[in-house]
């Protein structure tokens, strides 16, 4: 099967990570994949904060419900929306989603695991991240070498999702 299609199908949300650090080249490759996401009018409204220091990971872990996931992951990428960069809320949010999916797929393609944590507009978390006045937290994505191999979550059949006209 084509590698991209294969990656889309075999990606899983990973919530348990090995202690092993993630190589800098892999982090760069993931950030690069994020950068190449599509966005309306090519506004690229995402801003990315890479959280690696043990202090910040611990601070984030204390604030986020799924504490161990954040604390144990060697890195977490926080995706922020720069409200000054965007032009239309719906389209900006769609672009952020594309950026997040690129991050998940790139991580998976590099043998890493990741999970999208839907934590939005949280002032305390934004403070820990050093978010600027016009930046809003959209999601946190802990990343690391997987320490679990979960089975696929069920998907609805195409017949239920698709109408051809
Ligand atoms: C918008 C969004 C929010 C999510 N929030 C969380 C979350 O807060 N915690 C979590 O463990 N997983 C979260 N997930 C991951 C989903 O639970 C997961 O993608 C879904 O169950 C399908 O499993 P899969 O990713 O392994 O295919 C989120 C996913 C999306 C797209």
Model confidence over 140-159: pLDDT tens digits? 999 999 999 999 999 999 99
How much is the pLDDT for 162? 98
Residue 36 has pLDDT above 80, yes or no: yes
Q: Which of 69-73, 102-106, 131-135 has the lowest mean pLDDT?
A: 69-73
Nearest CA to ligand 1 atom 9: 117
- 13 C-alpha vs ligand 1 centroid, how far in Å? 7
Rounded to an integer, the average pLDDT of 6-31 is 97
pLDDT, the chain, mean: 95
Q: Record the pTM.
A: 0.97
Mutation probe of ligand 1 site: the residue of 11, 116, 143, 153 with most atoms within 8 A of C-beta:
116
- 30 C-alpha vs ligand 1 centroid, how far in Å? 19
Q: Are 73 and 142 in contact (CB under 8 A)?
A: yes
Could you give the C-alpha distances from 22 to 49, 56, 139, 147, in angstroms and in order?
A: 16, 17, 20, 13
Please count the residues of the chain: 165
Q: Which domains does the chain have, with CATH numbers?
A: 20-148 (3.40.109.10)
Report the percent of the chain where pLDDT is more than 90.
87
Determine how many CB atoms are found less than 10 A away from the CB of residue 98: 15
How much is the pLDDT for 25? 98
Determine how many CB atoms are found less than 10 A away from the CB of residue 53: 10
How much is the pLDDT for 5? 97
Cα–Cα distance measured from residue 76 to residue 90, given in angstroms and rounded to the nearest whole number: 25
């Amino acid at each position: 099967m084509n590698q991209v299609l294969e990656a889309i199908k075999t990606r899983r949300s990973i919530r348990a990570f090995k202690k092993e650090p993630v190589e800098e080249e892999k982090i760069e490759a993931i950030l690069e994949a994020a950068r190449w996401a599509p966005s309306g009018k090519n506004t690229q409204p995402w801003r990315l904060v890479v959280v690696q220091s043990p202090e910040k990971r611990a601070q984030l872990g204390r604030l986020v419900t799924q504490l161990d996931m954040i604390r144990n992951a060697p890195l977490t990428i926080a995706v922020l929306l720069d409200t000054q960069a965007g032009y239309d809320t719906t389209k900006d949010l769609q672009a952020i989603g594309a950026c997040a999916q690129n991050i998940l797929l790139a991580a998976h393609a590099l043998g890493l695991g990741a999970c999208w944590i839907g934590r939005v507009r949280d002032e305390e978390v934004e403070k820990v991240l050093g978010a600027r006045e016009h930046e809003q937290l959209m999601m946190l994505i802990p990343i690391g070498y997987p320490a679990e191999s979960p089975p696929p979550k069920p998907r609805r059949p195409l017949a239920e999702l698709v109408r051809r006209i």
